Amino acid sequence: MPSVLQKIIYTGTFLSTPSLDELQVLASHAVGVDEDGVIRHIEHMSDQSDTGIQELAVSWGWGKWEEGKWSCVKGGAGGNSWWFPGFVDTHIHASQYPNCGIIGKTTLLDWLTTYTFPLESSFSSLSKARQVYTACVSRTLSHGTTTASYFATRHVAATNLLADICLEKGQRAFIGRVCMDSDMSPSYYRDESPQQALTDTIATITHIKTIDPTHTLLTPILTPRFAPSCTSPLLTALGSLSAQENLPIQTHISENTSEVSLVASLFPTHTSYAHVYDAHALLTPRTVLAHAIHLTPPERALISSRKSSISHCPISNTSLSSGLCRVRDLLDQGITVGLGTDTSGGYSASILAAAREASMVSRIVAHLTPEEPSAPDPTTTTTTTTVPQTPDPNPKPCKKLSVPESLYLATLGGASCLGLSHRIGNFAIGMDWDAQLIELGTAPDAEGSVAGEGIGDVGGQDRGNTRRVYVRGRLVHERR
């Protein structure tokens, strides 16, 4: 990775979500980023002229403009341009990128056999892998995704290539070789044995250590596909490896009711799906569980107690008719939640699209959730009550996710899932400059935009609004 040569002062308006439901707006500010891409200064600028910027740099000990030791990137003026933290995609299958939008009327289990396994198996071809992974990383960067937790395929060479491409293009990434040794996977696409799966996984870990020894950008992540794809010996081995090497883990859980039944039949001695993972030491504070739609209250409590986190993938969940994830229940239980595009269960590689759908799905959940009953009027209370007799462990109404809440999940929430909330997902001194410059009204055909227009149609969907993207101070995408 080339080092960033200069200190840079970024100016303009800085938006971020430092906590759930808090949208922070720092207007007329300057952020000073050092040669390592780390934020060293955040200051209000009373004087935004070049002179004011120079005075600021001098006050920071950066020297005068003419000494050439720093440069300045202005984030535009007015209400149509701002800096925002880079997006964190906590669940994306890079190898499935070519299948975006191809689902038909399938649901999870037949979708896997119809569309997904045939595609993934083709990554035995390195040229195919290079084409798809290059496209996927370029595209996610263009959507402002500065960090992605990738499922690759079970191929070592192709998975290593994904790591190479992320490093070259400058995207922060968790790279997972997919482990799948059970006979639930087709014979043409599965690991030969638990031992082989482990050996192959270690080969990718070694490669990533070789190309990024400090793990500045790249982190290997253990990736049992999901419980039905793995034998118990493989799950045990991965749990041990995670503990020995302090490695993060990613997998799927409770995405689909048929899948939940399948797990119950495959692992009959375990109490629940979550308990299957827990029994194999796979529920750790570094574990990211994708979907988690149909968890029972005891499963939620178990996940919460293990401090594992959940990747909410609303576009995928709706596309595959998997169900409605009750995100508010998860948050209320203290579970860390981030967002995943789940390409290609989800049709879009954009976390902003996922954030929008998270808000949309929560509004459907709100509609389907009866309001909390008012406290009974004591003067009319009788011994025969009409309150439902079924005990409800979560009696609060499942409220809508606001726009700031969805954006928090898309940034700092995702960073928290991946154990990176001290480095990315927000703007603060000591954190890395993983950021995107948003400019409304500069996309083609923007003649229709008017002042005061809401964020929906303008800011939401056009990638063209993402003007520049930085990871650890390096410019990794620029819209021409």
* Residue 459 touching a second copy (CB under 8 A): yes
Minimum CB separation of residue 141 from a second copy in Å reads: 8
Name, in order, each residue with C-beta under 8 angstroms of 457's C-beta and a sequence gap of 6 or more: none
Angle between helices 194-211 and 232-245 in degrees, nearest 10: 30
| 444 residue type, one letter | P
- Looking up tokens 């192709």, which residue turns up? 158
| 197 residue type, one letter | A
Nearer to a second copy, 178 or 353 (CB): 353
Taking the C-alpha atoms of residue 178 and residue 94, their distance in angstroms, rounded to an integer, is 11
Taking the C-alpha atoms of residue 385 and residue 367, their distance in angstroms, rounded to an integer, is 25
Q: Which of 66, 183, 377, 445 binds a second copy (CB under 8 A)?
A: 445
**Ranges within 129-148 binding a second copy (CB under 8 A):** 131-132, 134-139, 142
* Residue 370 touching a second copy (CB under 8 A): no
| 401 residue type, one letter | L
Q: Which of 20, 157, 443, 475 binds a second copy (CB under 8 A)?
A: 443
Nearer to a second copy, 103 or 179 (CB): 103
Which tokens is 374 given?
Answer: 């008012």
Binding mask 400-429 for a second copy (x = CB under 8 A): x-x---------------------------
Nearer to a second copy, 285 or 373 (CB): 373
**Ranges within 327-366 binding a second copy (CB under 8 A):** 343-344, 346-350, 353, 356-357, 360, 363-364, 366
φ/ψ of 337, rounded to 5, equals -125, 135
* Residue 378 touching a second copy (CB under 8 A): no
CA distances from 58 to 12, 40, 235 (A): 19, 14, 56
* Residue 319 touching a second copy (CB under 8 A): yes
* Residue 324 touching a second copy (CB under 8 A): yes
Taking the C-alpha atoms of residue 473 and residue 170, their distance in angstroms, rounded to an integer, is 10
Number of residues interacting with a second copy: please give it, by CB under 8 A: 67
Taking the C-alpha atoms of residue 467 and residue 449, their distance in angstroms, rounded to an integer, is 17
Q: Which of 236, 394, 461, 475 binds a second copy (CB under 8 A)?
A: 461
Minimum CB separation of residue 27 from a second copy in Å reads: 20
Which tokens is 20 given?
Answer: 């759930």
Q: Which of 42, 102, 157, 264 binds a second copy (CB under 8 A)?
A: 102
Among candidate residues 281, 283, 263, 282, the one with its CA nearest the CA of residue 273: 263
Name, in order, each residue with C-beta under 8 angstroms of 128's C-beta and a sequence gap of 6 or more: 122
CA-based torsion, 190, 192, 194, 198: positive or negative: negative
H-helix or E-strand containing 397? none
Nearer to a second copy, 298 or 456 (CB): 456
Nearer to a second copy, 311 or 343 (CB): 343
Minimum CB separation of residue 406 from a second copy in Å reads: 12
Minimum CB separation of residue 425 from a second copy in Å reads: 23
Interface residues with a second copy (CB under 8 A)?
A: 97-102, 104-105, 131-132, 134-139, 142, 315, 318-324, 343-344, 346-350, 353, 356-357, 360, 363-364, 366-368, 399-400, 402, 443-445, 447-450, 452-464, 477, 479-480
